[in-house]
Copies of this chain bind each other. A is one copy, B any other.
Amino acid sequence: MPNQSVVLDSVFQALADPTRRAVLERLGSGPAPVSSLAEPFDMALPSFLQHMKMLEGCGLVRSQKTGRVRTYELAPATLQAAEDWMAKQRSMWERRLDQLEAYLKETESDQ
């Protein structure tokens, strides 16, 4: 299995948490500092920062520090990798859906 797989592992892992998905949604409207991102969540700062580290570790966001403020932003390139996998799967699933549906019709009736 190629290296690509490792990227997808960590990207989907990152997307598997509601806090992190909410952060990504928030970053969709522009860069923001840690304190502002953390504010909506009832969580200790170090706990929140672990989420940010995971998002940054898999490349979904990046950050830079100016003075004592760290600002996070989306990193579109990595979002694209997850996008691409989903799109590939989607088209595959759609292509197969006809034959699948025929099968499902059979099995649905005996459930």
Contact = CB atoms under 8 A, between A and B. Distances in A.
Nearest to A5: B18
A100 B24 contact: no
A49 interface: no
Copies in the complex: 2
A13 to B, nearest CB: 4
Given A76-B93, A79-B93, A82-B86, A9 B1 contact: no
Nearest to A101: B76
B30 A73 contact: no
B30 A103 contact: yes
A22 B4 CA distance: 13
9 contacts: A1-B22, A5-B18, A10-B16, A12-B15, A24-B89, A25-B92, A30-B96, A64-B111, A73-B100
